[in-house]
Structures are given as C-alpha cells and as structure tokens.
Amino acid sequence: MSTIDVRRAHTLDHSHARQAAETLAADLSRQFDVDYQWDGDVLRFRRSGVKGQLAVTDRELHAHLELGLMLRPFKSRIEQEIENQMDQLTGSTG
C-alpha cells in the first residue's frame, strides 16, 4: 500500500469545517470515482484500489488514504489535488 496523509489546520466553525470536507469529498468523488459517506465527523472513502478517511476536528482536517497497486502511479496527482483543495478550503498555505 502507498499512503497519502495530509493535515491542514483551520479556524472554521464545525459546520463550515464539515461543509469544507464535503466539498473536498464531492470533488474527489467526481475526479477519481470514489464513494464516500459520513461516519460521525469522519468521511470514509472507498473504491477498488483505495480506502481512506477525512476526519474533521475543531482545529484540523486530516485526510488519510491508502492506495492499492493500480493507483500508485496516480499518488502524486491525488495527493496534490487533496493538498490544493484543503489549502483553498481552509485558507492555508500548507
């Protein structure tokens, strides 16, 4: 497995942090054909060759994905997309 682990601090209220996570998940779903669903304050991602989660806390968004063999060549693209989206949604610079 190849792992992607991205954290971004935020100053959003809980509702807006969840909305930011939902926006990121919807975009990843469109681009990479992943299914997702909420489990409390954690969005769980799944599709053949990838599983992971996006946790929402009062202070950070934390994405953790495990890519299977077939998606390893796309790791940098997926990771960059997550980083860019998180930076945009949280107003962060990484």
Q: Which domains does the chain have, with CATH numbers?
A: 2-77 (3.30.310)
Question: With bands split at pLDDT 50, 70 and 90, how would you rate the model's confidence at 2?
Answer: very high
What residue has token string 């390893």? 72
Checking if the pLDDT of 14 tops 80, the result is yes
8 Å CB contact between 80 and 18: no
Rounded mean pLDDT of the chain?
91
Could you tell me which residues are beta bridge partners of residue 48? none
8 Å CB contact between 45 and 26: no
Strands 35-39 and 2-9: unpaired
Identity of residue 57: T
Question: With bands split at pLDDT 50, 70 and 90, how would you rate the model's confidence at 28?
Answer: confident
Tokens linked to 10: 């935020």
DSSP 53-89: EEEE-SSEEEEEEEE-GGGGGGHHHHHHHHHHHHHHH
